[in-house]
């Protein structure tokens, strides 16, 4: 199996390991498989999630140098529960039982163990630079914590992250360093870019969401959940995914293309409605993002669209396969409240976008809503709405009750080293 760039499909071919270690293709495009493989005939869920992950991912690593290590990497990365909240066919896939209580743990942990496995063999060291406005940095820092041959430098904007997010970023020691930048998230991102451009700095890498090593693990839980759904209800579900950069949703489209029993995939957006406008008009216009209650989805120019355009080559094909709705802050609030009042189930603002879409457009259809974060991560939004405290999961509590330590710096990337 080989991977190619979205921008030059007839150009160079890369192994999975090369693609993951590079992050971005040399021409600036995103790595995609030459063809989407089919699920292996041997696929079974009888041996638990990590083994099923190995089976789903195996065809992508066929002939790769890491092929024989794949099972071990999956067992180390996916050592936490994947839970389905069943509600008579209006089910919710809870992807928030990893160490940082959000779905980004799946991708970040797979990438960290994958890179460690590779670097142990070559005895090289790498430093991961991440700029974060919230969830990504926490998931990456936690995943790379104490991984051999790897260091992490996390940059976050002063006054730009919530208290609990900040604690997640700054509670780690050893190989993880946190920097509070006296600037905005854009400044943080620019510092990371500047550092990569500086040729005197060697051994730097990124772990952002366009890395294939973060995307592939996001295929697995769609295969897993749709098979469980089909076995239980004898129907194929419509999967509704809270989306920003659409990396999570790209995982679902690849899962469906591999043969997972999914009827349709729907992207639930917040007020950042670039994809809805494209579906309406046929003209794709990325724009600046606006702030919403579902802040991990505040994206105006979704980075993984390039992969979806590669999968669905024309507007008609795109429209035939992708649905999307935009949900404003008012609807996010009422959905959190209505869901809680009617069922006692508590959801985060991101999940609420998907739940709103289910309630409004797919009321009597078989559905899986994807819950991307634990509501306790967004307690300052959720608690006043439901007028009740949200219990903190143990892993989150352990993390936010540790000592914080970070370095305050300006906007010059040289201060990172
Ligand atoms: C990152 C994130 C999203 C958006 O995922 P994409 O892959 O960028 O579409 C949604 N919800 C939460 C909680 C997130 O952290």
For 33, residues 6+ apart whose C-beta sits below 8 A from its C-beta are: 1, 2, 3, 60
Ligand 1 atom 1: the closest Cα is on which residue? 296
At 216-234, the pLDDT tens digits run: 999 999 999 999 999 999 9
pLDDT of res. 130: 92
Measuring CA to CA, which residue among 286, 266, 289, 290 is closest to residue 278? 286
pLDDT of res. 164: 84
What separation in Å is there between the alpha carbon of 270 and the centre of ligand 1?
A: 11
**Cα–Cα distance list, 301 to 26, 198, 225, 400 (Å):** 21, 26, 29, 32
* pTM reported for the whole predicted model: 0.96
**Cα–Cα distance list, 128 to 1, 115, 131, 383 (Å):** 27, 11, 10, 35
What separation in Å is there between the alpha carbon of 244 and the centre of ligand 1?
A: 6
What separation in Å is there between the alpha carbon of 245 and the centre of ligand 1?
A: 7
pLDDT of res. 400: 82
Task: Name the residue of 103, 253, 301 to mutate for ligand 1: max ligand atoms within 8 A of Cβ.
Answer: 103
Q: Where would I find the beta strands (DSSP E) of 301-347?
A: 322-326
pLDDT of res. 36: 98
**Cα–Cα distance list, 390 to 84, 146, 382, 385 (Å):** 19, 30, 8, 11
At 39-96, the pLDDT tens digits run: 999 899 999 999 999 999 999 999 999 999 999 999 999 999 999 999 999 999 999 9
What separation in Å is there between the alpha carbon of 392 and the centre of ligand 1?
A: 20
On whether the CB atoms of residues 239 and 222 are closer than 8 A, the answer is yes
pLDDT of res. 185: 83
Task: Name the residue of 297, 327, 336, 351 to mutate for ligand 1: max ligand atoms within 8 A of Cβ.
Answer: 297
Orientation of helix 135-144 relative to helix 163-170, angle to 10°: 20
pLDDT of res. 398: 87
Measuring CA to CA, which residue among 323, 209, 214, 320 is closest to residue 269? 323
3-class secondary-structure state, position 24: coil
Ligand 1 atom 14: the closest Cα is on which residue? 296
pLDDT of res. 81: 97
Residues of the chain with pLDDT below 70 are: none
What separation in Å is there between the alpha carbon of 227 and the centre of ligand 1?
A: 23
Which residues surround ligand 1 with Cβ inside 6 Å? Answer: 102, 104, 135, 209, 242-249, 296-297, 350, 372-373
- Percent of the chain predicted with pLDDT > 70: 100
In angstroms, the CA 370 to CA 84 distance is 9
Task: Name the residue of 30, 94, 241, 248 to mutate for ligand 1: max ligand atoms within 8 A of Cβ.
Answer: 248
What separation in Å is there between the alpha carbon of 219 and the centre of ligand 1?
A: 15
Helix, strand, coil: what percent of the chain each, to 5?
45, 15, 40
pLDDT of res. 189: 85
Measuring CA to CA, which residue among 132, 337, 324 is closest to residue 242? 324
Ligand 1 atom 11: the closest Cα is on which residue? 372
């Amino acid at each position: 199996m080989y991977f190619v760039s979205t921008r030059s499909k007839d150009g160079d071919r890369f192994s999975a390991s090369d693609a993951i270690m590079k992050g971005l293709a040399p021409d600036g495009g995103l790595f995609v498989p030459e063809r989407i493989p089919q699920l292996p005939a041997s696929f079974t869920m009888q041996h638990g999630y990590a083994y099923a992950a190995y089976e789903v991912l195996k065809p992508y690593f066929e002939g790769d140098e890491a092929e024989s290590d794949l099972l071990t990497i999956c067992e180390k990365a996916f050592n936490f529960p994947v839970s389905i909240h069943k509600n008579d066919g209006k089910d919710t896939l809870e992807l928030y039982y990893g160490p940082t209580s959000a779905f980004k743990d799946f991708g970040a942990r797979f990438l960290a163990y994958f890179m460690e496995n590779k670097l142990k063999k070559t005895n090289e060291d790498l430093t991961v630079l991440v700029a974060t406005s919230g969830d990504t940095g926490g998931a990456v820092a936690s995943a790379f914590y104490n991984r051999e041959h790897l260091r992490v430098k996390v940059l976050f904007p002063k006054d730009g992250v919530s208290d609990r997010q900040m604690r997640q970023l700054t509670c780690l020691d050893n190989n993880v360093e946190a920097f509070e930048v006296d600037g905005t998230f854009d400044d943080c991102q620019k510092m990371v870019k500047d550092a990569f451009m500086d040729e005197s700095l060697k051994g730097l890498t990124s772990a952002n969401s366009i890395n294939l090593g973060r995307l592939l693990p996001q295929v697995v839980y769609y295969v897993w959940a749709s098979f469980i759904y089909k076995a239980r209800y004898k129907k194929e579900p419509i999967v509704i995914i809270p989306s920003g950069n659409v990396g999570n949703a790209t995982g679902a489209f690849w899962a469906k293309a591999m043969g997972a029993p999914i009827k349709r995939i729907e992207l639930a957006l917040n007020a950042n409605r670039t994809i809805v406008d494209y579906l309406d008009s046929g003209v794709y216009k990325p724009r600046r993002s606006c702030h919403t209650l579902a802040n991990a989805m505040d994206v105006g120019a979704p980075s993984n669209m390039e992969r979806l355009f590669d999968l669905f080559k024309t507007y008609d094909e795109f429209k035939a396969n992708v649905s999307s709705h935009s949900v404003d802050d008012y609807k996010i609030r009422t959905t959190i409240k209505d869901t809680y009042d009617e069922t006692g189930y508590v959801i985060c603002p991101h999940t609420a976008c998907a739940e709103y879409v289910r309630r409004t457009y797919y009321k009597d259809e078989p559905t899986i809503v994807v819950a991307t974060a634990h509501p306790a991560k967004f307690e300052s939004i959720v608690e006043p709405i439901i007028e009740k405290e949200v219990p903190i999961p143990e892993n989150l509590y352990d993390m936010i009750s540790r000592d914080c330590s970070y370095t305050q710096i300006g906007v010059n990337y040289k201060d990172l080293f």
